[in-house]
C-alpha cells in the first residue's frame, strides 16, 4: 500500500501486519518533524540510542523533535564488531538504572547495526517494549529497518542471536544520506540491487539506467530507490513475517556474504560489500545450475562494479573455512544448506538442489 501525503516530497508505505501494521515515512527533514515521531511514542519516557558517528550529527535534532517527554540518550561505539550481547547489556543497564518501564520507547538512531541492536533490546527488555527506527544509512533505510529482524552477532556466526520484533514506525530521512560516506552509500546499493534481482526486473533495469545519479546523491533518484526497495520489502514481510516461505528470498547473497563477514572479522567488510560479493557468487552458481546465462552473470557483475562494490570474495578465506562457515548459517535446515539462487534476473528461488562439489568449486573460484 502506497500513499502520497499532503507534502509532495513525502511518501508513506504501510507494512501490513494487521493490528501490528506500521508506517514507513520517506522524505527530507523528517528527523526534525515531531508529527512523524510523537504519535508513535508510548508512555512518557524515551531512550534514544545512537553511535559515536551519528550522534554528533543528528542527536540534538531528534531530541528536540520528541521534546515534551522524559528523554535520555545512550551513545554506543560505532562498528559491526560491537553488534554483540555485551552492547545489548549496556542498553539494559541504562534502562534499569534510569527506571524505564514497560510503557517506555526505545528509538534507534543510526545505521543497520544500531537498528538491529536496539530492536533486539526492545524485544527483550521486560519482555518487549515499544521502539522506533530512525535509519541514517542507505542500507538501513532500504532494508534492515523494515521487517522486524533484530539481533546480534556471535563469534561463530552472523546474526545468530535475535528475534522478530516489529517497530511502531520507520522514519527514513533522506537528508541524512548527505553526510554518508561514499563507501557506506555503495554498501546500501547492494540491497537495492537485490530487490531487482529477486523479483522486480523493471526496478533492476531502472537501477542499471540510474546508478550514476544515485551515486551522485541525486535527491529524486535516491528517493525512488528507497521507496521502491521499501515497497518490495514491505510486500514480502506482509506475506511472510517470520521467514517461513518467500521472505527467505530476501537473503540472496547473504549466506555467502555472512561467511565473508565472519571470516574477515566483523566490520572489516561492510555488510553490503559482503552481500555484493555473495550475490555475484550466487549468480555464478546459478549459471552452473543452467539457470542464468554467462551474459546474465556479466550483467549482474557489471552493475555491482558500477556501484563500486566487490564482486569476488577475499582470497584469504580458504574453501574449507568458507564451506564450514556456510554450514552454520540460519538457512541450514535439518543439516541441509539451502541457498537463494536466480532462475533468471528478476526471479529467485530457495533451493538445496545443488551439487556440493559444484558449490565447493564455486567457492574456490569466487
Rounded average pLDDT per 10-residue block, the chain, 366 residues: 48 97 97 97 96 98 96 97 98 98 98 98 98 98 98 93 98 97 98 98 98 97 97 98 94 96 95 98 97 98 98 94 87 81 98 91 88
Dihedral sign (CA 91, 92, 96, 97): negative
- 286/146 same-domain check: no
pTM (2 decimals)? 0.94
Residues 197 and 159 in one domain: no
Q: Is 247 a catalytic residue?
A: yes
Last residue of a domain, one of 153, 179, 205: 179
* Residue 183 annotated to the active site: no
Q: For the segment 212-241, what is each residue's pLDDT rounded down to a tens digit?
A: 999 999 999 999 999 999 999 999 999 999
Same domain, 206 and 154: no
Q: Is 149 a catalytic residue?
A: yes
158, 228, 231, 233: which is the annotated catalytic residue?
A: 233
- Confirm whether 210 is a catalytic residue: no
Among 8, 99, 127, 216, the active-site one is: 127
Of 158, 228, 258, 331, catalytic:
258
Question: Can 181 be counted among the known catalytic residues?
Answer: no
Catalytically annotated residue among 51, 130, 153, 191: 191
Residue at which a domain ends, from 179, 203, 223: 179
Helix residue ranges per DSSP H, the chain:
55-65, 85-97, 112-124, 138-139, 182-199, 201-215, 219-239, 254-264, 271-288, 294-306, 319-326, 356-365
Residue pLDDT, tens place only, 255-272? 999 999 999 999 999 999
Q: Which of 271, 284, 330, 331 is catalytic?
A: 271
Q: Which of 51, 130, 149, 287 is catalytic?
A: 149
- Catalytic residue (choose from 153, 241, 251, 331): 251
Residue 258 annotated to the active site: yes
Residues 210 and 329 reside in one and the same domain = yes
| d(C-alpha 289, C-alpha 223), whole Å | 36
191 given a catalytic annotation: yes
Same domain, 161 and 190: no
C-alpha 134/C-alpha 177 separation (Å) is 12
Q: Does 271 lie in the same domain as 169?
A: no
Active-site annotation holds for 127:
yes
Residues 256 and 210 in one domain: yes
Task: List the CATH number of the domain containing 237.
Answer: 1.20.1090.10
The number of domains in the chain is 2
Give the count of beta carbons closer than 10 Å to the beta carbon of residue 17.
15
* From 83, 194, 231, 247, active-site residue: 247
Pair (218, 259) in one structural domain:
yes
Distance between CA atoms of 320 and 111, rounded to whole angstroms? 32
Q: Is residue 167 located within the same domain as residue 25?
A: yes
Answer whether 174's CB lies under 8 Å from 28's CB: yes
Determine the structural domain holding residue 242 and report its residue range: 182-365
Q: Same domain, yes or no, for 209 and 357?
A: yes
The three cell numbers locating residue 254: 547473504
157, 179, 201 - which closes a domain: 179
Amino acid at each position: 500500500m502506497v500513499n502520497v501525503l499532503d507534502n509532495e516530497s513525502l511518501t508513506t508505505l504501510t507494512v501490513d501486519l494487521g493490528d501490528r501494521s506500521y508506517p514507513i515515512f520517506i522524505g527530507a527533514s523528517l528527523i526534525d518533524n515531531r508529527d512523524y515521531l510523537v504519535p508513535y511514542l508510548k508512555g512518557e519516557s524515551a531512550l534514544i540510542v545512537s553511535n559515536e558517528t551519528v550522534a554528533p550529527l543528528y542527536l540534538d535534532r531528534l531530541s528536540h523533535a520528541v521534546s515534551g517527554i522524559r528523554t535520555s540518550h545512550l551513545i554506543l561505539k560505532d562498528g559491526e564488531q560491537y553488534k554483540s550481547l555485551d552492547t545489548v547489556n549496556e542498553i539494559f543497564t541504562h534502562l534499569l538504572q534510569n527506571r524505564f518501564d514497560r510503557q517506555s520507547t526505545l528509538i534507534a538512531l543510526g545505521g543497520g547495526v544500531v537498528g538491529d541492536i536496539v530492536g533486539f533490546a526492545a524485544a527483550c527488555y521486560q519482555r518487549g517494549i515499544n521502539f522506533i527506527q530512525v535509519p541514517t544509512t542507505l542500507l538501513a533505510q532500504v532494508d534492515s529497518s523494515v521487517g522486524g529482524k533484530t539481533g546480534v552477532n556471535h563469534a561463530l556466526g552472523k546474526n545468530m542471536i535475535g528475534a522478530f520484533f516489529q517497530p511502531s514506525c520507520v522514519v527514513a530521512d533522506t537528508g541524512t544520506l548527505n553526510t554518508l560516506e561514499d563507501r557506506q552509500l555503495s554498501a546500501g546499493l547492494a540491497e537495492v540491487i537485490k530487490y531487482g534481482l529477486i523479483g522486480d526486473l523493471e526496478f533492476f533495469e531502472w537501477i542499471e539506467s540510474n546508478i550514476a545519479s544515485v551515486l551522485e546523491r541525486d535527491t529524486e533518484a535516491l528517493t525512488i530507490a528507497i521507496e521502491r526497495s521499501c515497497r518490495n520489502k514491505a510486500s514480502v514481510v506482509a506475506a511472510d513475517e517470520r521467514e517461513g516461505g518467500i521472505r527467505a528470498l530476501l537473503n540472496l547473497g547473504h549466506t555467502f556474504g555472512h561467511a565473508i563477514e565472519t571470516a574477515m572479522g566483523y566490520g572489516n567488510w561492510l555488510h553490503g560489500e559482503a552481500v555484493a560479493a555473495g550475490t555475484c557468487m550466487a549468480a555464478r552458481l546459478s549459471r552452473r545450475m543452467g539457470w542464468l546465462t554467462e551474459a546474465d552473470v556479466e550483467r549482474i557483475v557489471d552493475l555491482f562494479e558500477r556501484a563500486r562494490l566487490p564482486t569476488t570474495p577475499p582470497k584469504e578465506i580458504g574453501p574449507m573455512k568458507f564451506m564450514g562457515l556456510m554450514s552454520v548459517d540460519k538457512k541450514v535446515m535439518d543439516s541441509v544448506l539451502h541457498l537463494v539462487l536466480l532462475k533468471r534476473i528478476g526471479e529467485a528461488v530457495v533451493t538445496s538442489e545443488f551439487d556440493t562439489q559444484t558449490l565447493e568449486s564455486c567457492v574456490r573460484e569466487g
